[in-house]
Amino acid sequence: MVRRHILVFTGIVLCGLVFSAEVSGQQEWHRANKLILGLHPNGSIGGATGIFESWPGLLYPCLDPPWCANSNLNPWYHDYLHNGGIWLGGVVNAESIVIASSSRCSYGNNGSGFWLKEFITVHPFPDAELFYAEYADSTTGVEVQQKSYAFYYPESYKEFIIFDLKIANLGSYTFEDLYLGVEFNGIAYSCPVYDCNREMSGVRILPNGPSGDTAYIGWVADNDGNPVGGYFNEDSPTSVVGVKILYPRAGDCQTSFNWYSFGDYLLDVYPKWGPTLQSNFNKFGYMTDSSLGWATTCREKYYLMSNGEIDYDQYLSHLDHTAEGWLPPADSALKFAQGSNSAFLLSCGPVVNLYPNDTLRFSYAVLGGMDFHKYPGAYDSTSPFWVFYDFSTLLTNALTAQQLYDSLFNPSADVGEEPLALPKQFRLLQNYPNPFNATTTIRYHLSKSSNVTLEIFNLKGQLVRVLLNNTTQPAGEHQRVWDGKNSAGVKVSSGVYLYRFKTGEFSQVRKMILLK
């Protein structure tokens, strides 16, 4: 097969005949730059899936592409990813659904998860490496067309891989309140035998990103870089890797970051755990296995995607965060803070209702950052919070990846395709958060330009507040925030309230709960 591709980079034009070759195996690796990343035909990334094990998952930093056969990248010490992949979560017929490439939760908890549709195909460019894959969930009919790009040139592009996905609903189900996310499941090896499973997870928050919104980068790294005799050597995993969602923008949806650990099965066995806000625990409680944070059912996975938490970093686990609204530290909190076998989920939503025959776009980057550990003697296992971790390279690479994505794949410039499908009907969605104690967001869909009225009532039917009064708005997704005040600007009391959405031809009412 011969295809002609033209890509316009920032100051670079790639043009030429590209030969598409089908890969016969079940796994391929990006090898173009400093990250060697495993790809599977079901959308999983890393070295392991639910079906088989193979490694490496994510070797970094590769200073001698494409194979990194030199001594500065020992795969037993520099493999930063066990497995990961995308999560797509929504509500279908009042039931939570999560379709994932790294797990098997789907409709009715019995779905296949994403699975192979076509083998991975390779499209080599002079300055980039493109892999194409298609995978689908047979239960719901959701299909994903995935392109992933690793760049040879310039130097500033060599420390990330961009994933650009087109998600199509080819089934008969409507997914309401859709969330999109990426799971990243811990370090695969990155250790000598005596010091395995000592990884750290956390999140970096960047205000005023390249598109003017806040950027969130989930990260994972070894806890101390494994110094030998007080020094780092070529086998020391001194880098950090992470994930940034490139599209949708963080300003267009609510970001959640949850990390969770299933303990250390080589050294000390202790319960599964993850940071949890007291308010979320009051609403959701424990997971089905009586743990916190480690989700197995669709309901639990959707809760993680939509809970709005931005967890504190793992190395701070032994500190008391109850004043900020978190549950008290776990009994094994210091062990978690010293590093454990853990994973994180970075998600964004709700982005849209995904109706049959609709498509949407989802993009993210896998990132690297060198010199995360700079001082071999800086880590104190009795006081992990004193350690100095250098995030500067990771954050620079995250911003560069976002800027490159915006220049290459700007969704507004995509010919013939809207990144988020326009609604096909009027609809009022459940407010979030609910219950709430300060402010809440009310969302609704307009299938065409309409005059909109949005009102708040108490249970006696008395009008409390008018948020919109016959206001003309275009077709699409909209939202308004209610601050819990009446029309006189006075805070109303706790209780159940009704919000009514009206257009010239449609009216719907929902309940919400204000708690103080």
Q: What is the pLDDT of residue 508?
A: 83
Whether the upstream peptide bond of residue 65 has omega within 30° of 0, thus cis, is no
pTM score above 0.85: no
Q: What is the pLDDT of residue 312?
A: 96
Residue bearing tokens 């709960």: 513
115: its two tokens: 């699975």
Residue 144 and residue 361: Cα distance in Å, rounded?
10
Residue 282 and residue 493: Cα distance in Å, rounded?
20
Q: pLDDT of 368-419, one tens digit each?
A: 999 999 999 888 888 888 888 999 999 999 999 998 998 887 655 343 344 4
User: Higher model confidence: residue 152 or residue 19?
Assistant: 152
pLDDT band at 78 (very low <50, low <70, confident <90, very high): confident
The CA-based diameter of the chain, rounded to the nearest angstrom, is 75
Assess whether pLDDT exceeds 50 at residue 176: yes
Q: What is the mean pLDDT of the chain?
A: 81
**What percentage of the chain exceeds 70 in pLDDT?**
80
| Interior/surface letters 235-257, b for 16+ CB within 10 angstroms, e for the rest | bbbbbbbbbbbbbbbbeebbbbb
Residue 270 and residue 282: Cα distance in Å, rounded?
24
Assess whether pLDDT exceeds 50 at residue 221: yes
pLDDT band at 341 (very low <50, low <70, confident <90, very high): confident
Among 422, 354, 304, 349, CA closest to 142? 354
Pick 427-514's CATH classification: 3.40.50.970, 2.60.40.4070, 3.40.50.1970, 1.10.10.60.
2.60.40.4070
